[in-house]
Amino acid sequence: MKVVTLKYIMCLVLSSAFATASVQAAEMLKMEVERKGKRYFLDSSLLVDVPKNTMFEVLTDYNNMHHFSRGIKQSQEVTPAADGTRRVFSHLQGCVAFICRSVEKVELMDTIENQRIVTLLLPELSKNVRWNKTQWDLLEVQVKADDASKVDKILTQIDYKMEFEPGFWVPPLLGTYMIKKSLAKDGLEIVERMEKYAQGRSEISFEKNKNFPLLELPQVDFVKFKKAEEKSNSQEMKPVE
């Protein structure tokens, strides 16, 4: 689950205490992972040298998400919900310790302007995962130049939170440690690949997407889904004001 969680994620953000730092590449500054019952809660931070609007486009482009991670075997937009809400699909494969799993997720995606992305799992259309909710917040951050001859930079701060419950057994003593270790290494590498692509320093092949025909998905009984969510005793992830 470690790899599965991290590969879908893309962690991340900056605290004001680092606002004068000199950043050459994606930098992770915060990573907190907590387990409550069967669920994992992630609160992470990262800073990237990419304009906010550009980074927003990369993070919401599910037709190409698989290009940035070996653990994501397929990712794409699928038929929207009845009310027009975007739905996205991702197929992930990975191992933690001796446990290897394949996870398929269908999620609703909601966006607010170019600064917030929220996804919510549709359990009825997903496999090997019981719950997943994520939130990205993107902000412009001015970083002062460390040399008087240089100009200040405008970077993008990404605040990321996630609530995740796997649909398979994870060793309770190793789960939190392994997830955090994996995210710290692999999650940063994924965002660095995104940053290089957004900066025009690397390319991706769009030919691979031809193997992904549009998936026609059934509609979900939202009344049933809402009741299942209300029964959860997990901590609610409230949007950051």
The two three-digit tokens of residue 29, written as one number = 């500054």
The residue with tokens 């809400």 is 85
Q: Which of 3-17, 22-36, 39-53 has the highest mean pLDDT?
A: 39-53
The CATH class that applies to domain 2-202 reads: alpha beta
The two three-digit tokens of residue 112, written as one number = 């607010």
- Round the average pLDDT of the chain to a whole number and report it: 76
Does residue 105 surpass a pLDDT of 60?
yes
**Which of 46-60, 78-92, 116-130, 220-234 comes out lowest in average pLDDT?**
220-234
User: Quick one: pLDDT band at residue 145, thresholds 50, 70, 90?
Assistant: confident
User: Quick one: pLDDT band at residue 240, thresholds 50, 70, 90?
Assistant: very low
The neighbouring-strand residues paired with 112 are: 116
Between CA 202 and CA 191 the distance in angstroms is 13
Residue 165 phi/psi, 5-degree rounding, is -130, 115
Between CA 79 and CA 32 the distance in angstroms is 34
Between CA 95 and CA 122 the distance in angstroms is 23
Contact 26, 182 (CB under 8 A): no
Does residue 207 surpass a pLDDT of 50?
yes
Helix (H) or strand (E) holding 82: none
pTM of the predicted structure, to 2 decimals: 0.74
Own/partner contacts of 111-119, CB < 8 Å, gap of 24 or more, are 111/56, 111/60, 111/86, 114/52, 114/53, 114/56, 114/138, 115/52, 115/56, 115/139, 116/239, 117/56, 117/59, 117/60, 118/239, 119/88
Residue 216 Cα distances to 6, 90, 125, 212, angstroms: 27, 14, 11, 12
Between CA 12 and CA 137 the distance in angstroms is 10
